[in-house]
Amino acid sequence: MKRISIIQRVAMVSIVLLIIGLLSCPATISAESTTLKVALLPIPDVLPFHLAQEKGYFTEAGIDVKAIPVASPIDRDQLMQAGEIDGMLTELTTTAYFNRDKVQIKIVRIARSPIGTHPLFRVLSAPGSGITKPSDLAGIPIAVSKNTIIEYVTDRLLTAKGLRPDQIKKKSVPVIPERFQLLMQGQIKAATLPDPLASSALAAGAMEVAEDSAYPELSVSVLSFSTASLESKGEAVEAFLKAWDRAAAEINKAPDAHRELLLKKIRVPKNVQESFAIPLFPVRKVPSAEQWADVMDWMIAKGLLKNPLSYEGSVSKQYLFKD
């Protein structure tokens, strides 16, 4: 009886120690892998992030997500190259640049694409230029950022509108605010601009020549994470994306209810702060193989890539979970 009593006591102590060990662990993800750093530009595409943060969705999911504000894509890309961030809001073209020699980042979500009457990009003409339709742009230099999603969208959009590739001329003006100013001052006759700056230009007298809402396959921003972070923090990335999708779905139910947050976190010109239409957001989507292939074709044609990169190497469907 004495021997049995000792065994029972040892078993009870072991059980208690096991329970204490379990209680000391986080309920969801291990502590060393719960922090994510995500680089964000101050554009409408990142509104779901800010809503998720404000509502506490990240904390509720057991992760600590730190927004790393960046002023330009160059700053963002340098942070990723240096390994100082886990993820970033970016584009298909940038993802391809990173993966030219080896796979460094993977797309895990479409952050934003044109939905309904909410375009991402507009080709505009200067006030008083007399340019009102795509055919008027034949041979006219259009200000863009060269070798970027903006140039890609400009080429594809105007081709879809009937212009031949040799009729589409472009001028490199990489800094978007400068592009806006040159357009409004009439120093350039046409430019491709993202919203809400494009909406501001329209309100100030610019003319819309083309926009991408009828071509949602062209204009997408994406969330890309480093392969190192996906490997070591996969559960945290999954929790992050669930919180992002939850916030995106909430915005879609009542977009204008989130105007105050938009104006607090996003750069919106004063002349359209009350009128700018808050966009709708895709939920649980990644770019299609066809979208990726078209970007590959464009980059190869421009000499930016020698060979196409595989879709599976740069786009992950692993996180397209369902509720």
- Distant-in-sequence, close-in-space partners of 63: CB < 8 Å, separation ≥ 6: 28, 29, 34, 35, 36, 236, 239, 240, 243
Strands 87-90 and 35-40: parallel
Asked whether residue 15 is assigned to any structural domain, the reply reads no
Domain boundary among 165, 190, 211: 211
pLDDT for res 321: 72
For residue 25, is pLDDT > 80? no
Task: State whether 224 and 309 are in the same domain.
Answer: yes
Segment 134-190, tens digit of pLDDT: 999 999 999 999 999 999 999 999 999 999 999 999 999 999 999 999 999 999 999
Alpha-carbon dihedral of residues 25, 235, 320, 223, nearest 10 degrees? Answer: 130
Q: What is the domain count for the chain? A: 2
Q: Of 308, 263, 273, which is closest to residue 100 (Cα–Cα)? A: 308
Task: State whether 108 and 125 are in the same domain.
Answer: no
For residue 8, is pLDDT > 60? no
pLDDT for res 18: 47
pLDDT for res 27: 45
Task: State whether 127 and 206 are in the same domain.
Answer: yes
Q: Is the dihedral of CA 89, 91, 97, 103 positive or negative?
A: positive
CA distances from 42 to 23, 143, 178, 251, 268 (A): 40, 21, 17, 17, 9
Boundaries of domain holding 295: 35-113+220-313
Asked whether residue 47 is assigned to any structural domain, the reply reads yes
Asked whether residue 127 is assigned to any structural domain, the reply reads yes
Segment 231-285, tens digit of pLDDT: 999 999 999 999 999 999 999 999 999 999 999 999 999 999 999 999 999 999 9
In whole angstroms, give the CA distance from residue 171 to residue 187: 12
CATH of the domain at 131: 3.40.190.10
Query: Is 271 strand, coil or helix?
Result: helix
Task: State whether 226 and 108 are in the same domain.
Answer: yes
**3-class secondary structure for 221-265?**
EEEEEEHHHHHHCHHHHHHHHHHHHHHHHHHHHCHHHHHHHHHHH
Paired tokens of 231: 């490997």
Average the pLDDT over each of 16-25, 253-262, 288-297, 302-311 and give the range with the smallest value. Answer: 16-25
Burial grade of 270 (CB within 10 A; 0-12, 13-18, 19 or more):
exposed
Asked whether residue 150 is assigned to any structural domain, the reply reads yes
Task: State whether 125 and 206 are in the same domain.
Answer: yes
**CB-CB contact of 249 with 283 (8 Å):** yes
Paired tokens of 89: 């809001």
Q: Mean pLDDT, the chain, as a whole number?
A: 91
Task: State whether 51 and 133 are in the same domain.
Answer: no
Paired tokens of 191: 């430019």
Task: State whether 91 and 224 are in the same domain.
Answer: yes
pTM of the entire structure?
0.87
Segment 27-51, tens digit of pLDDT: 444 555 789 999 999 999 999 999 9
Query: Is 188 strand, coil or helix?
Result: coil
Given pLDDT bands bounded at 50, 70 and 90, which one contains residue 20?
A: very low
Task: State whether 108 and 130 are in the same domain.
Answer: no
Asked whether residue 270 is assigned to any structural domain, the reply reads yes
Please work out, in degrees rounded to the nearest 5, the angle formed at the alpha carbon of residue 224 by the alpha carbons of 119 and 320.
85
Determine the average pLDDT of the residues in 303-323.
91
For residue 26, is pLDDT > 50? no
Asked whether residue 99 is assigned to any structural domain, the reply reads yes
Domain boundary among 173, 188, 211: 211
- Distant-in-sequence, close-in-space partners of 66: CB < 8 Å, separation ≥ 6: 35, 36, 37, 38
pLDDT for res 6: 52
Task: State whether 269 and 139 are in the same domain.
Answer: no
Domain boundary among 211, 234, 258: 211
In percent, how much of the chain has pLDDT > 70? 89
Task: State whether 306 and 256 are in the same domain.
Answer: yes
Segment 59-82, tens digit of pLDDT: 999 999 999 999 999 999 999 999
Asked whether residue 20 is assigned to any structural domain, the reply reads no
Asked whether residue 17 is assigned to any structural domain, the reply reads no
pLDDT for res 322: 60
Task: State whether 125 and 198 are in the same domain.
Answer: yes
Task: State whether 173 and 237 are in the same domain.
Answer: no
Q: Of 134, 156, 152, 136, which is closest to residue 144 (Cα–Cα)? A: 152
